[in-house]
Amino acid sequence: MAYDLAGARKAILIECRKQGIDDDTRHMLIREIGKIASGSTRDMGADAARRVLNHLRRMSGEGNDWAFIDNAAADFRPLLRKICATCRSMGVGKAYAEGVAKNQHGVERRLEMMSSSELHALAGALARTQRYKEQA
């Protein structure tokens, strides 16, 4: 039985949307996990699709720390998804993000309880950390 490459490509897009992964992060994930230079699902072969899809499914497993985002206030969701996607692309969890908020901004609350301005500051700090790690 042949591998359903078209189905795998669609599943990758769906899983990324479900997990709140934006387009830029998805392309980076495809480049790094799938080892595809362009970062596009169009250029992905069966092996790359398997690697990316397996990675996404492992990330969405039980005990998902980020499940609260779906129940958050609608105006907070985009920022929370950005924080989630940034953390996932760096291979860190929610606790790391909360630690960054505490260490860099003195915010000692869980993500669910942070204000919009606190989340915005945290997203900026995580983006700077991500850029720094990519350059290193």
Residue 98 to residue 109: CA distance in whole angstroms: 7
pTM above 0.85, yes or no: no
Helix extents (H) in the chain: 5-18, 23-33, 46-59, 77-90, 94-105, 116-135
Name the DSSP class of 134: H
pLDDT tens digit sequence for 91-123: 899 999 999 999 999 999 999 999 999 999 999
Condensed to tens digits (0 to 9), the pLDDT of residues 64-94 reads: 788 888 888 889 999 999 999 999 888 899 9
Q: Other CB atoms closer than 10 Å to residue 111's CB: what's the count?
A: 25
